[in-house]
Amino acid sequence: MGNPEKFAVGAPSGGVESWSQLDWPTIYKAVGRLQARIAKAAREERWGKVRSLQRVLVQSLPARRLAVRRVTTNRGKRTPGIDGVLWNTSRQKMQAVDQLKRRGYQPQPLRRIHIPKRNGGKRPLSIPCMNDRAMQALHLLALEPVAEQTADPNSYGFRKARSIQDAHQRCHMVLAKGNSAHWVLDADIEACFDQINHDWLLANIPMDRGLLRKWLKAGYFEGEMFHATERGTPQGGILSPTLANMTLDGLEAHVLAAVPRPKWKEPRTKVHVIRYADDLVATARTRELLDEHVVPAIIAFLKERGLRLSEKKSQIVHIDDGFDFLGANVRKYGGKLLMRPTRANVKDLIRRTRHLIRRHFGTKTEHVLYQLNRILRGWAYQFRHLVASRVFGYIDHCIFRQLWKWARRRHNNKGSRWVKARYFSCVGNVRWLLNAKRTRPGGRSQTIVQFRMSSLPIRRHIKVRAEARYHDARFVEYFKERRRRRRHLEHQDRQRLGSRQLELTF
């Protein structure tokens, strides 16, 4: 662990004068070793050992530094709470590490704002103060190893080394075969974050219950008015996704236990549960199994936790009619399962790019390309594991029409040939790609080229093993190998697309 004084609990600065001098690889290793011990104790159900190791972790200097680093590097680092305080300087971050102590700690109320949803509604978002975020991040380091050990095998939301792609691949595994389940419950939990029962959380979440009660009862300010919180966990808190996951953990086992075992020579029930946060899919061989056993089991499980299924968003469908799950449309055509990006997702992307291009009518071309490529590349990599080749081609066509209209509008007194020569070029065998040149520091000229989705090959995702648990010493090499393989594939993509699609340097 290196110099013991450097990581001594309670040391004001740990012998380091500046935030930039901290040895982050060593800090991550120190915290990771404690998390592995907590995970082992939780796997062995030694809950007294778990609590003692959690206390050691939250008091350790490496963990406090890591908590401050997380809240000062994530996307919300420039969004203050009700006190208006941000930690921007090295001195502020070093002082924040010393302030992360339980004694005398009292969280402040949250700042409530509303962000737009895709369906036109508003989603409430509660913003804690920086100190409260750091305290939650600190105790999350101690809670995550336990949450991983108790998680459902086929739960993929808000868990390390798991993703939407894993949930999609699990759907394909349980539905693709000819003798797979034909009936699907596409369910959504109504206002999951806002309705969780506080008493259930305080009785079942293995963490410091005094702090958990303070966070749950902190309340929030909406404008100038204070509101108390009697239910739910705030959306926007660092700890909230893990609390919601642990609330729903055990659902898969509960459903499987409620389904009667088939008698001799009867076909299997084909019951499977796939969950991503509060979105879940349950499959069965017949509709009667879903109606009589699966749905009542889910309702009873949720009722104990103060939750219920959404009547508007939950439905039972046949696989030939299809359903939407996490941005993918899952449906069988003539007995063959196809998973494609949903129409709503495609329309939303085209709407976003149209708004971006129109809003930057007078902006430099390289700035438009930078923002446009970031959106297109992120969307393509998110859905490249689906049957998306035709969708990618359609989006490329729509983007070209938007850019051509944008370029013609910028030069309405010029002809089409002049506009084409000014903005578009041929890269490899692909024509009509928007490009722009810029000068980098040092006088080097660089050409940025429009990202073309259809140039990205479709690549099937390899699902994470259901029994693999992060922080578990038995799966360290497994997750390392998955990271190595991912980096190798990303390197292959850069080599394949580098000279044509990413950036050309002259």
Q: Which tens digit of pLDDT belongs to each residue from 231-255? A: 988 888 899 999 999 999 999 999 9
Tokens representing 238 are: 């660092």
pLDDT, mean over the chain: 89
At 418 the pLDDT is: 92
Determine the length of the chain: 506
Q: With beta carbons less than 8 A apart as the criterion, state whether 466 and 162 touch.
A: no
Q: With beta carbons less than 8 A apart as the criterion, state whether 458 and 466 touch.
A: no
Q: Is residue 502 over pLDDT 70?
A: no
pLDDT cut 90: percent of the chain above it: 70
Q: Does residue 493 or residue 209 have the better pLDDT? A: 209
Q: What is the DSSP letter of 297?
A: H
The residue-averaged pLDDT of 161-180 equals: 95
Sign of the CA dihedral running 343, 344, 349, 353: positive
Residues in CB range of 348: below 8 A, 6 or more apart: 118
The residue-averaged pLDDT of 425-448 equals: 76
Rounded Cα distance, 29 and 35, in Å = 10
At 105 the pLDDT is: 93
Residue 334's pLDDT band (cuts 50, 70, 90): very high
Residue 115's pLDDT band (cuts 50, 70, 90): confident
β-pairing, 445-449 vs 503-505, is antiparallel
- For 266-294, letters b (16+ CB in 10 Å) and e give eeebbbbbbbbbbbbbbbbbeeebbeebb
CA distances from 82 to 72, 121, 401 (A): 17, 24, 45
At 378 the pLDDT is: 93
Tokens representing 112 are: 């409530």
3-state secondary structure of 391: helix
pLDDT tens-digit map of 303-329: 999 999 998 889 999 999 999 999 999
β-pairing, 220-222 vs 110-116, is parallel
Rounded Cα distance, 33 and 44, in Å = 17
Rounded Cα distance, 433 and 451, in Å = 8
Residue 497's pLDDT band (cuts 50, 70, 90): low
The residue-averaged pLDDT of 31-37 equals: 96
The residue-averaged pLDDT of 93-104 equals: 92
The DSSP code sequence of 146-214 is HHHHHS-TTB-TT-TT--HHHHHHHHHHHHSSTTS--EEEEEEBTTHHHH-BHHHHHHH--S-HHHHHH
pLDDT tens-digit map of 123-153: 888 899 999 999 999 999 999 999 999 999 9
Rounded Cα distance, 360 and 354, in Å = 10
At 238 the pLDDT is: 92
Cα torsion 225, 231, 237, 238 to 10°: value is 160
Sign of the CA dihedral running 372, 376, 377, 379: positive
Residues in CB range of 27: below 8 A, 6 or more apart: 62, 65, 66
3-state secondary structure of 343: helix
From 250, 284, 249, 254, select the one nearest 270 (Cα to Cα).
284
- End-to-end Cα, the chain, rounded Å: 46
Range of lowest pLDDT (42-46, 58-62, 425-429): 425-429
The DSSP code sequence of 227-292 is E---BS--BTBSSHHHHHHHHHTTHHHHHHHHSPPP-TTPPP---EEEEETTEEEEEESSHHHIII
The residue-averaged pLDDT of 177-184 equals: 94
Rounded Cα distance, 125 and 107, in Å = 17
Rounded Cα distance, 279 and 314, in Å = 10
The residue-averaged pLDDT of 152-173 equals: 95
Q: Is residue 15 over pLDDT 70?
A: no
pTM over 0.85: yes
The residue written with tokens 């410091």 in the block is 208
